[in-house]
Structure 1
């Protein structure tokens, strides 16, 4: 059955800095578990995409409306009893808490973690993405790793894609609902 809970389908945010593989892992995680996948970057307002394409880091004022749109999608999926996997950088704890609040606490995160060198090489190799490799250091400086936060599975990205997805599923399947929130079980 995968990672879904019978009473309330699990919403998952695949998070991390640019180049960590959020979209690929999210797509495979959703497909493996028969739930919807939402590419969070598609919800960015045009002005955010333009800023990033020009190598300008986003500020909180840029990110908060975007996070709210993602939160709305998560809430809608849960209200309609749909499982959902969404890719979203969710770099700060306050961003993750904002998403948790939108989801009514029924939200888990898969944090994709890797070295700067590996992230940079991935960013430099990809074609047609609006996020330039020059913004990696800004993202790494903004990142507040979710160490110690409930409902978070951390997976190293120096594994093969299938292994990353399997490790994420393994960690997610160990989560139990306690008081409406997801916790490692």
Structure 2
């Protein structure tokens, strides 16, 4: 696989995606996006009330994130995205857009597939106990700790043929970034 144009730092709420993602982007000199910043207001309200998001809630949000990745990578910008991306179908949308890579017409009217985003998936893994302990210490975040179990229930860890690596959240964020950077070399 060619070098990824983007790195997705994924995992359940409280796994350290935003911290690791921002640190990694800073070390690499890449642009950083936190998927949480792109949730529509309705999603934030639902989660704030302790209601897990459905696929219908997530798909438009994931399409927006795909469009951002696509635009940045097409312009030659490398990107780190922190996003829960709990299911394989969600990661597929981030890479290909909805319904696989959408068709677009070139000048002559012929349909052509838009390029997929080359993505390295970094899955931050940890036990329910460790991550719920972290969430309980976190202040001012819209994600109530009660929703963590629904995230673990939804989680489909990445597997072949996805381009991925798994790193335990037992390490500190700097160590995690070093491991990711070694993999990118």
Kindly report structure 1 stretches of 4+ aligned residues shifted beyond 6 Å: none
In structure 1, the partner of 2:78 is 83
Cα deviation, 1:149-182, whole Å, max 9, x if unaligned, reads 4310111110011101111222233xxxxxxxxx
Equivalent in the alignment of 2:88:
93
DSSP-derived class of the 1:168 partner:
helix
Structure 2 residue 106 is the aligned partner of structure 1 residue 111: no
Measured after TM superposition, the shift of residue 128 of structure 1 is 0.6
Taking the TM superposition and a 5 Å limit, the aligned residue runs for 1:65-84 are: 65-84=60-79
C-alpha distance in 2 between matches for 1:105 and 1:71: 8
2:21 to 26, 29, 38: 26
1:172 aligned onto 2:167 = no
Q: Secondary structure at the match of 2:76?
A: coil
Rounded Cα–Cα distance in structure 2 between residues aligned with 1:93 and 1:172: 22
Q: State how far apart, in whole Å, the 2-side matches of 1:129 and 1:149 are.
A: 34
TM-score by length of 2: 0.86
Task: Give the unaligned 5+ runs of structure 2.
Answer: 98-114
Q: Distance in 2 between matches of 1:27 and 1:161?
A: 10
Give the distance between the partners of 1:20 and 1:31, measured in 2 at CA. Answer: 19
Tell me, in whole angstroms, the C-alpha distance in 1 between the residues paired with 2:72 and 2:165.
Answer: 21
Which SS does the other structure have where 2:32 is aligned? strand
Is the counterpart of residue 153 in structure 1 residue 165 in structure 2?
yes
Q: With structure 1 as the length reference, what TM-score do the two structures score?
A: 0.86
Contact 1:153 1:172 in 2 (8 A): no
Residue of structure 2 equivalent to 1:181: none
Aligned residues: 167
Q: Please report the RMSD computed on the Cα atoms of aligned residues, expressed in angstroms.
A: 1.4
Give 5+ residue unaligned stretches, structure 1: 174-185
How far apart, in 2, do the equivalents of 1:157 and 1:53 lie? Answer: 25
Is the 2:122–2:164 contact (alpha carbons within 8 Å) kept by the matching residues of 1?
yes
| 2:13 and 2:143 in contact (8 A); partners too | yes
Tell me the residue number matched to 2:148: 136
Q: Secondary structure at the match of 2:166?
A: strand
Residue number among 8, 17, 23 corresponding to 2:12 in the alignment: 17
Give, in whole Å, the separation in 1 of the partners of 2:117 and 2:6.
10
